[in-house]
Every structure is written in structure tokens, then in C-alpha cells.
A and B are shown apart, each in its own frame.
Chain A
């Protein structure tokens, strides 16, 4: 393996990590502030991708598509929060799991009802298509570089939002002490709707950005949802920084594992076995990583330690 190839694979790992972060950030925020497990987060990702594909088909503009995805998913999130989710805050995790599992069923088949059974078209706009040459002679798709940039921007924006704004202050306060912030006269209901819509909007944005280079179809949300859960659990639930570190770890493990494990095994066994066994082990790698980290630190890398 040449150094350039390794560098390119690391970039690929970073890129998939950044997209995972967009998903994980919303999930971890919602859990951190409201204590809610939301299995339907992947559905909002799917809604974002479908809305982006429809908006792109109607207007031909990629930026309009992104805006539609984010706004539409945020709106869907706000509605779901008002109608269903807010009844679940004082329930235990079990009820939350069942209710959001039900939401997945409704969203998935509802989307197929509205958009039909066939995958939708969504493609990279001309101004972002094709590869660029990086130092070291690596040819890398411009769009994937833009994804890394978008992920970094979102991470920075979220960081600023949480640490520097009034909303962020309330989010941090809401996390630590719900009664306190309610006593201070903050409308906690509205705060929760806002946080949930923000998470949903990020998921919708991720769906649109990633859907552009993947297939936009029903059921696209669930694999990503599981990965996002793995991410926030590794990072420590509730921690934005943890979500970022977890996302990068998962992205790099997933990308490099698939490439390196078969090669490593080829050193000790015949090539055919190495290829299939290596691929099998690589598909288990992130779950092994997560189990390992939890055994080492039971509340993730940046999670709050139990008293």
C-alpha cells in the first residue's frame, strides 16, 4: 500500500465520520437535554433525503434542496415532538423505545406511500462534481471534501451555539437541572421543541448531503441510526464533543478495517479465506470497538460519570 492510498483512505474515514457526526449530534443533544432515546432519528434522515430529491427535481438547485431537507426535517421533528414525543419525557426508556419504534414503521411505509416504491434521483451539482488533485498527487472527489467542510462547519456552529448563545445556555441548564430552569421562567416546552427540531434538522441535512452520493430509498435510515447510536455511546451520551470523537473513531475504524483486515489476514492464511474472513471481521469491527470502549469506560469517552 502506498502512502498516498493510506492518506486517501484516512480522508475517506474522516469524511464518513463527519457525516455520522451530523446524525449523532442531534441524537446526543436530544438525549442529553430531554433524556429521550429516539429510534426514529434515522427516519428524519430519510425524510431529509426524500425532500432534497423532490426539491432538487422541482427546482434544479442543490442549495434549495439542502434548505428544503433541513427545514422540512426540522418541521417534521417539531410536529412529532408536539404530538408524540413530549408525552414520553417522563416515561422510562422502554416506553420511548416502543413509541419511537412505532414511529419508524409509520415514517417508512408512509414515505413509500407518498413517494412510491422506487428509489429517487439526487446527484452532485456540477459545481461540486469531479475530483481535485491534493498535495501528494491524491485525486479526491470535490464533493467529499465539501462534506468534510460541511461537517466541520456544523461542529463549530453547534459548539458556538451551545457555549456562546442564550439558547445554548438554556440547553446546558436544561441538561443539568430541569426544575431550576423552569423556575427561572424559561418555557421549557418550547425549549424542548426547539432542541428536537434542531436535531431533526441536522439529521435531515445529513440525509440530503449523504443521499446525494448514496441511494435515496425507504429503509436508508436504519443502518445509519445504528451507527449513530454506536457513535454517541462511544463518545458518551449527551456530549457533543464525545459525538465528534466517536464519529471520527467509527468512521476511521469502519473504513480502514475493511481495507486493512483482509490484508493483515493474508499474511497468515490463504488469500481467499483472508478476503472473506477479513470482510466478516471488518463488519463486526465497530461493534467490537464499542463493546471494548464500554467495558473500559462504562459511560463512554466523555460521558458523565455516575455518582
Chain B
């Protein structure tokens, strides 16, 4: 063997270590009552990573138990001892508020697969923070716009009494032009809505907007349909997600809900995604799975264009959003939250499975209300 080949081999070996691994830390909820959301986020994200066939992306996954202090602890560990480059996966806004500001301040990139609270879109926006899902208000705004299109003029509105709930009603009112027949704040985690349903029945509302994510939505929908109130319901996708529709059953049939994604959205990337996810997991993907999948593809597209170590270039590559989103057209607004269409879906039953079908578009190319509050232009 000549000296030059040895040098070449050594160089190749060096190069091998130099192009090495991008480390991604995923913090999401994998135990307890909210686990279904985190499981879908993870499965969607990992599907995209596996499909890419790349072996230079390491994903470390940890369960946050939906507890803010646990999420902070995991983030500290991922940053301090596993030395990840990118963090992602948090489902809940309160956990995101605990983790994201300090992670981005330490120079890590955070890609949000779901939670996108108003503060992080506005005053506290950061060049290292990208929301791939939406801005939290978007689906509520779309519901308000849809209520106008549907001709509702006297809507009863309801949400839990916590920041995301209050933001939800604000988002709805931002676009809704009619009167409010009533406004109620429920307890967070409330399971019985008999009292609220009685109020709705006693009001002269022509429709009901409600934001009750997860189990709260299941409880409300079952009880509402059993109470024999026949006012039309409208709400954001969180109560009509694929993961919980089977548990809600017929009670949700026909209800209109707003979402930036739907399993029947007609584009090649989405058709491939839905088929591949069903094949891999034996169930239809949820909104959270779609958001996880898009987030991973965005990350991979940026890795094709820049090294993570070159922060400036990597951020620019992310901001390009040069990937095939399952939502179709997708780009980032100046505060690094999506500009996208938001649809109205209807809950239907197909072959014994409850799912959503698109029936209209509520908002086109919607960015968010916080562009001016963010000083990142």
C-alpha cells in the first residue's frame, strides 16, 4: 500500500466522522392520559426518518409524562449530556413554555410538532424556534371564519379556563362577526358538562363553538348528543382527532371541525403518508402524526442543504421549508410559523371507521396574528 492511499483512507475516515450524526431529542407524552397524542407524534416523525433511509440522524425519545418539570429535566439532560442539536416533540403549550425559551437561548433549534403558544409567536419569538404545526389560534380563527360562512349569527362559545382556552375564544372572536349567545369557561379536565349543556339549551343560540381537547371533548360530545340539543357544533380539530374519534363514536358524526390537515387531503405526499402510516401501524394517522411527519421531513430537507453546525445556514435552510408537506402548500411567515390553508372537515363513518372528510376551506394562506409583535423580520 502506498503512502497516498493510506493518506486517502485516513482522510476518508476523518470525513466519515466529520459528516457524522445529527442528534435529535424528542420530548413527548408517552404515558398517562395524554399518551395517544405523543405516540402519534413519535410514530409520524419516525416514519419520515425511516422512509428517508438516512443513518446520519439519531433520534433520542423521552417521555415527559405531561409534567413541565419533567420536560425541563429531560431537555437539560438532552442538551447537557446527550448534546443534541435539535429538539422537538412537545405536545402541550405549558410544557413548551417551560422548555423552548431556555433551549433556544442555549443555541438549540426547536421544531414544534404541535404546541405553538401566542408568546412564542410574538414577543418571545426566536430565530431558533420554528412551529411546523400552526399557531395555536389558527384553528379557532378558522372556526370563527367558518361560522360566518355558515351564516351563524348567535353562537354560544365554551372553553376550559386556562391560557390556551382563553386564547381559543379570543381566536374565534377575531374572525367571527355575529353575536355571542353565551360564553362559559369550564374547569380544565372537567368530565361532566350537564350544567353547561342545560345553559346552551336555555339560551337562544343558533350554534355552539367549543374548544375541549382530548378526553374533555369525548365527554362533551357524548353528553351533548344524548341531551337531544340539536344546535350545530363547530370546533377545532382537537376534539375530532383520529385517535379519539373511535372513542366518541356516533356522537361526533356530522360535526364540522377546522384543521390544516385531513387524511383525505388530495396531494401525492399525503396519499403516500396515509398509506405508509396505515401499513406500518394498522391505524389511520391523526393530525399529530401528520405534524410529526412534516416536522421530520422539514428537518431532513434542511440537513440536505446545510450542516447543523453552521447555525446560520441551517436556520436559513429550515426557513426555506423546501419539503413536500402533507398539507400541500406550506411556507413560513416572518415569525417562523406556517402560512397555510385551513379547512373545514366533517366527521364521517367509512367502513366502520370514524374519520374526517374535507367539506370546505375556512381560511386561505393564513399566517397568524402575531407577526407585528415579533421583532424578527
A interface residues, Cβ below 8 angstroms from B: 1-2, 4-5, 8-9, 12, 15-16, 108-109, 112, 117-121, 123-124, 129-131, 139, 141, 143-144, 210, 212-220, 223, 255-256, 258-259, 262, 275-276, 278-280, 282-283
Specify which of A117, A214, A279 is in contact with B36 (CB 8 Å cutoff).
Answer: A117
**A217, A255, A276: most-surrounded residue (chain B CB, <10 A):** A217
Chain A residue at minimum C-beta to C-beta distance from B228: A131
Residues of B within 8 A of A144 (CB): 194
B304 to chain A, nearest CB (A): 33
Specify which of B36, B161, B189, B198 is in contact with A12 (CB 8 Å cutoff).
Answer: B198
List 14 extra interface pairs beyond A123-B250, A141-B228, CB under 8 A. A2-B202, A12-B194, A12-B195, A16-B192, A117-B36, A118-B246, A119-B215, A131-B226, A213-B223, A220-B191, A220-B215, A256-B195, A258-B195, A276-B166
Cβ contacts B14-53/A at 8 Å (1 or 0 each)? 0000000000000000111101100100000000000000
Residues of A within 8 A of B166 (CB): 276
Specify which of B161, B202, B223 is in contact with A276 (CB 8 Å cutoff).
Answer: B161
A218 and B218 in contact, given A16-B192, A275-B185 (Cβ under 8 angstroms)? no
A123 and B195 in contact, given A213-B223, A214-B218, A276-B166 (Cβ under 8 angstroms)? no
Please tell me if the beta carbons of A279 and B227 are within 8 angstroms of each other in the complex. no
A279 and B161 in contact, given A123-B222, A141-B226 (Cβ under 8 angstroms)? yes
B186 to chain A, nearest CB (A): 7
The list of the 3 closest CB pairs from A to B, nearest first, reads A219-B33, A215-B218, A215-B215
Q: How far is the CA of A123 from the CA of B354 in the complex (A)?
A: 15
> Which residues of B (327-371) have their CB < 8 Å from a CB of A?
none
Q: How far is the CA of A278 from the CA of B186 in the complex (A)?
A: 10
Residues of B within 8 A of A212 (CB): 222
Specify which of A121, A210, A223, A278 is in contact with B189 (CB 8 Å cutoff).
Answer: A223
Residues of B within 8 A of A213 (CB): 192, 219, 222-223, 226
Chain B residue at minimum C-beta to C-beta distance from A15: B194
Please tell me if the beta carbons of B222 and A214 are within 8 angstroms of each other in the complex. yes
A279 and B202 in contact, given A119-B247, A139-B227, A213-B223 (Cβ under 8 angstroms)? no
A123 and B187 in contact, given A129-B226, A218-B33 (Cβ under 8 angstroms)? no
Chain B residue at minimum C-beta to C-beta distance from A258: B195
Please tell me if the beta carbons of A119 and B201 are within 8 angstroms of each other in the complex. no
Specify which of A8, A120, A262 is in contact with B247 (CB 8 Å cutoff).
Answer: A120
Residues of A within 8 A of B274 (CB): none
Residues of A within 8 A of B189 (CB): 223
Asked if B269 is at the interface of the complex by the 8 Å CB criterion, the answer is no
Residues of A within 8 A of B199 (CB): 5, 259
A247 to chain B, nearest CB (A): 14
Cβ contacts B222-246/A at 8 Å (1 or 0 each)? 1100111000000000000001101
Residues of A within 8 A of B177 (CB): none
- Identify 7 residue pairs between A and B in the complex whose beta-carbon atoms are under 8 Å apart, listed by A's number: A5-B202, A119-B243, A123-B222, A129-B226, A215-B216, A258-B187, A280-B161
Residues of B within 8 A of A124 (CB): 222, 226
Specify which of B36, B198, B247, B250 is in contact with A216 (CB 8 Å cutoff).
Answer: B247
Residues of B within 8 A of A256 (CB): 195
Residues of B within 8 A of A16 (CB): 192, 194
Residues of B within 8 A of A12 (CB): 192, 194-195, 198
B10 to chain A, nearest CB (A): 49
A119 and B218 in contact, given A139-B227, A141-B227 (Cβ under 8 angstroms)? yes
Specify which of B32, B39, B198, B250 is in contact with A219 (CB 8 Å cutoff).
Answer: B32
Please tell me if the beta carbons of B218 and A131 are within 8 angstroms of each other in the complex. no
Residues of A within 8 A of B59 (CB): none
Q: How far is the CA of A275 from the CA of B93 in the complex (A)?
A: 23
**B166, B189, B198: most-surrounded residue (chain A CB, <10 A):** B198
A220 and B247 in contact, given A131-B227, A215-B218, A279-B185 (Cβ under 8 angstroms)? no
Please tell me if the beta carbons of B191 and A214 are within 8 angstroms of each other in the complex. yes
A271 to chain B, nearest CB (A): 8
A201 to chain B, nearest CB (A): 22
Q: How far is the CA of A174 from the CA of B34 in the complex (A)?
A: 42
Asked if B183 is at the interface of the complex by the 8 Å CB criterion, the answer is yes
Q: How far is the CA of A143 from the CA of B218 in the complex (A)?
A: 17
Please tell me if the beta carbons of A276 and B185 are within 8 angstroms of each other in the complex. yes
Residues of B within 8 A of A143 (CB): 226
Q: How far is the CA of A219 from the CA of B223 in the complex (A)?
A: 20
Q: How far is the CA of A141 from the CA of B215 in the complex (A)?
A: 21
Please tell me if the beta carbons of B223 and A123 are within 8 angstroms of each other in the complex. no
Residues of A within 8 A of B215 (CB): 119, 214-215, 217, 220
B48 to chain A, nearest CB (A): 20
Asked if B249 is at the interface of the complex by the 8 Å CB criterion, the answer is yes
Residues of B within 8 A of A5 (CB): 198-199, 202
A214 and B244 in contact, given A5-B199, A130-B226 (Cβ under 8 angstroms)? no
Please tell me if the beta carbons of A259 and B195 are within 8 angstroms of each other in the complex. yes
Cβ contacts B196-226/A at 8 Å (1 or 0 each)? 1011011000000000001110110011001
A264 to chain B, nearest CB (A): 15
Residues of B within 8 A of A278 (CB): 185
